[in-house]
């Protein structure tokens, strides 16, 4: 087994390598003067089981191209099997046609990755479960819920906690976490007038006097999240925190979070946190490197991955 790191998330790659007590494979991944990607693998790959770690986060197109070129280099190096480890799978929100003459970009990216040479995919909390079906190769979609559960049990009183789904689409994810920590469940009903703008309309469930924990897969501009926190406080919530897998945090997200009713926002290192993210006092980074590393070990050993979530 060999680990290869793309340039998108060196932090999580180091955590994975440390957990597995392995060294990263020596590879040169750089840009020419005109920004073309150049990749050279400096070790023998013939017959090896390769795990290529690359989050397709901002700048998404650059990181996807880097992933594709590295996959091609590994395929041409006669690797036995190449697993693309995507802690964050970009374009996942474009998983359907929202209107006429629009693409299904998540399917397109899945096809490109497969064509480039990936034999299987290991990823974390896909925005929509059906994206697994966009790939014609095996996909392991890990869940951050066990990591969140352990952290919540350590830092919160579960008997006075309610897990909040920020919309109807996230109920399955929120219910799963609520079951794990033996907490109640509430749902925020919102109306989205246009892309990127949300309006909280109603809260389904009892939140008064409770410690509320919002659970979701992605926080981008943080508008929905901050509106939800304000609505929960208005309904009498004792405190509002959030556990969200992928911290995209674009635009004015950091400013909104810092000035919001959120006591704490916990995001994982599936996307490498910038210096500005780490400076925000109410944002905390939780590592999922041990979870991904254990899944990598099990894939390499041909043992069960699903039992990690039992």
The strand pair at 184-194 and 197-204 is best described as antiparallel
**Which is nearest to 262 in space by CA: 196, 204, 212, 191?**
212
- Using alpha carbons, list the distances in angstroms from residue 59 to 9, 48, 91, 279: 12, 30, 12, 21
Sign of the Cα torsion 286, 92, 127, 301 reads: negative
List all residues 6 or more positions away from 295 whose beta carbon is below 8 Å from its beta carbon.
Answer: 122, 140, 142, 305, 308
50 with 44: CB under 8 angstroms?
no
Alpha carbon 195 to chain centroid distance? Answer: 21
14 classed as catalytic: no
- Using alpha carbons, list the distances in angstroms from residue 45 to 1, 26, 40, 107, 145: 10, 11, 11, 29, 34
Give the integer Cα–Cα distance in Å for 175 and 163: 8
Active-site residue among 21, 190, 210, 233? 190
Helices in 156-206 by DSSP H: which ranges?
A: 171-181
User: By three-state DSSP, how is residue 258 classified?
Assistant: helix
Give the integer Cα–Cα distance in Å for 66 and 81: 19
Residues with catalytic function:
190
């Amino acid at each position: 087994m060999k680990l290869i790191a793309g340039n998108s998330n060196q932090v999580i790659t180091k955590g994975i390598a440390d957990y597995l007590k392995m060294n990263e494979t020596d590879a040169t991944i750089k840009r020419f003067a005109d920004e073309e990607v150049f990749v050279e693998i400096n070790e023998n790959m013939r017959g090896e089981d390769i795990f290529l770690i690359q989050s397709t986060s901002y700048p998404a197109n650059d990181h996807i191209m880097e992933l594709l070129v590295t996959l091609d280099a590994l395929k041409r190096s006669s690797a036995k099997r190449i697993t693309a480890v995507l802690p964050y799978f970009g374009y996942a929100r474009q998983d359907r046609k929202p209107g006429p003459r629009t693409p299904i970009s998540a399917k397109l990216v899945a096809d490109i990755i497969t064509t480039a040479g990936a034999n299987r995919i290991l990823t974390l909390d896909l925005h929509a479960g059906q994206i697994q079906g966009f790939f014609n190769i095996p996909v392991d979609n890990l869940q951050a819920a066990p990591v969140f559960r352990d952290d919540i049990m350590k830092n919160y009183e579960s008997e006075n906690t309610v897990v909040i789904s920020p919309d109807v689409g996230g109920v399955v994810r929120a219910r799963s976490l609520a079951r794990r920590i033996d907490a109640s469940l509430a749902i925020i009903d919102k109306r989205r007038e246009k892309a990127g703008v949300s309006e909280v309309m109603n809260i389904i469930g009892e939140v008064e006097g409770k410690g509320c924990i919002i659970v979701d897969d992605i926080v981008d501009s943080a508008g929905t999240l901050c509106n939800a926190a304000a609505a929960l406080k208005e309904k009498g919530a004792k405190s509002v925190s959030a556990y969200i897998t992928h911290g995209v945090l674009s635009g004015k997200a950091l400013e909104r979070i810092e000035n919001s009713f959120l006591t704490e926002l916990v995001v994982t290192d599936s996307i490498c946190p910038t210096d500005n993210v780490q400076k925000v006092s109410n944002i905390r980074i939780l590592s999922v490197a041990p979870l991904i590393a254990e899944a990598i070990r099990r894939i390499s050993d041909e043992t069960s991955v699903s039992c990690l979530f039992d």
